[in-house]
Chain A
Amino acid sequence: MLIALLLLPVLTGLCMLFFGKALLCRVALPVMALAHTLLSALVALSVYQGNAPRALFGILAPDPLGVLFLMLASLLFLAVSVYAISYLREEERIGLHTNILDHGQFTNQPERRFTAFLCFFLASMSLVTMTPHMGVQWVSIEATTLSSAPLIYFHRHKSSLEATWKYLIICSVGIALALLGNILLSVAFYGEPVGESDFDQLSFFLSHADKAEATWLKAAFVFLLVGYGAKMGLAPLHNWLPDAHSQAPSLVSALLSGALLNCALLGILRGHQIMLAAGLGDISSQMLIFFGFFSLATAAIFIVGQGHYKRMLAYSSVEHMGLLALGIGFGGIACQGAIFHAVCHSLTKCMLFLLSGNILARYHTYSSFDIRGMRWTMPFTGALWTAGFFAIAGSPPFGLFVSELLIAKGILASKAPWLAVPYLLLLAILFVALSVAVLRMVQGRRPIDMPKTTKEPLTSVLPPLILGLAVLVLGVFVPAPLWSFLSKAAQLIGG
């Protein structure tokens, strides 16, 4: 089952790459995504029941935390693959595009290559979430970088090339630092007897954590945090994130923001787990809190007055990654809140990015100042965009309100309750800044030069609608099995 989760996207991708027809690929993508989602649901079920599957000598052995992120990646991929049907059809229809930024002409990458790399991207993310071996995790996180770089460069123009290059270099170098972290981890545990054939490195580290050399362990965590933090978009190494998210096709941005950032977070969480087991949880928590606040503040600075709505969404991702780091750092109820937050953020952000793709296709501009009257020109997207904004800004009745409240509660219960003040203040600033931009886009008159049509393809609004409904439901009522699953995941990282 676990191997199938990897092989399915890889084989599909290879087939697409070598003998795919564009139309066939477009259909095969959602089918594969559906199969993948069902499989990962099965895995999640068996992990929930307590008999976690293992495969490949233990290289694949998911735990609740990993499965949670696996489910998220899988679900988002399903939504994106449905959205891709209309998106790719539209792209094919236009043929020769014009770059919005410098008005240069460009063509797209061959479509089968795009869909194939989407599949590889999914496969590498699945591997990240399923393995307990830190080395394999490193290799697969690097693989996510490499498989997603061609996706960002789908539109072959200068700006996307620039974004791709930044993404490649910053993430590769960051991840190289994480490799150094892994090596330091091995140094810290050097001398402990290790089974030659046992790949379950994580449980080995966790069970021997008290014998590890503290200095090396701390150094290892710093490098893991900085390395994977660059990939996750924690400030100050977040520079690639707004560029890549704004230049990538919207469905890729949705996957990057909703699924990939979580995968990088998982790498940090593994380090945090080991630090907790070694009794050094205070240090790693403090670092997480620091970077969390730093990211939150950075995001607040850049979102205020941000005219580029896709960049705005990207900075909002930086903000929410900061929130996650913060919640995990404070531990306890905040940690549960953070895990819940990760789920809700992924769903909401995916929805918003998909909608931004619709807006971009209709208005042909990145600037939120030039967009008026979305409620007249594209009623569905406009309504969902507004709802999505309320969700992402953390207002009731959406799931993010609950999770942010839980994090606030955790902060108040911690040793430094006064930190709740900057936390709430920053959230308020972000709320105002986001609402200004979003409401400006939705309200107002229909621009005169816009075509009269209000038709929107079903596959371009259905996935965001379903994602939005899911966040709404999570805000009103969390099913008990889901909540116990989340708490199980949170328990692993001190929740």
Chain B
Amino acid sequence: MSQPLLHALHFVLALLLSPLLFGIINRVKAKVAGRHGKPLLQTYFDLIKLLRKGCVRSDCTTPVFTLAPCIQISATVLALYFLPLGGVASPAGFAGDFLLVSYLLAAGRFVIMLAALDTGSSFEGMGASREATFSAFAEPVLFLAMIVLTSFYMDLGHSEAYAFSLGTLFGGQSALAWLNGKLELLFIPPVFFLLLLVENSRIPVDDPTTHLELTMIHEVMILDHSGPDLALILYASTVKLWFFASLIASLFIPPMQIWQESLLWLLLIFLLAVILGLLESSMARLRLHRVPALIGAAGMMAALALILSQMR
């Protein structure tokens, strides 16, 4: 099978399976707490239910509010498309595409923040402000981690055009490298994991199941969305989770047979969901002013990795 076709297959698989991640996380949390829990496919049911409902929009909103979910879902899905999936590089990849991808994600976040401000609700404004703050902290860390990977591939002798593309950065060679003494690359998966927690508003950064608006970050921004709009936002957040989980998984997949790679990819992503579930049931949300420290720790790790890989 050709590369673009394989990638397309993986892409469709990702889009289909991404709501399952929420199901797994919730199931693990329920099991740990000793409950039976929601069905695994609950997110699919939620999505279908929401899509069938009508949409209530406030009178004082503008088209920004209406368009935001559509823009966000398209930006997120497009970002996913640029990612190497299951060890197969995206046919659309080019040198420097990681910039495009991170700004696509940022654009998605931006429109949702605009929509939140558009409602004029002070709660939603507060949520938007928090989201903006934390993502502003998280973005440099993401780039720092990317730079570490880039410098690693430059050291391997790849040309710039090649080393700056996501298809290379997450192409799997780093998985072999730390077995051969490039131990500083071991810092990178934890960095991405922390970024995943921040970007997807998971515990300990934000509690997605909280009912108190004052403590929310992501959920409070979408209080006024309903029906299909809400379904799109929900779906976008599952795709985003899949995006970050796939980033981490790609770091661990060594070059193998193609079916082995894709199997390992799916396995790792689901494993990550299980880990997330365990983490969320074992710790509480951090106080808000501690979150920058968490992101700072990720930044420190990335910087350490950069110093070690650059200077020796």
Is there any pair of Cβ atoms, one from A and one from B, under 8 angstroms apart in the complex? Answer: no
Q: CB within 8 Å of B: which residues of A? A: none
Q: CB within 8 Å of A: which residues of B? A: none
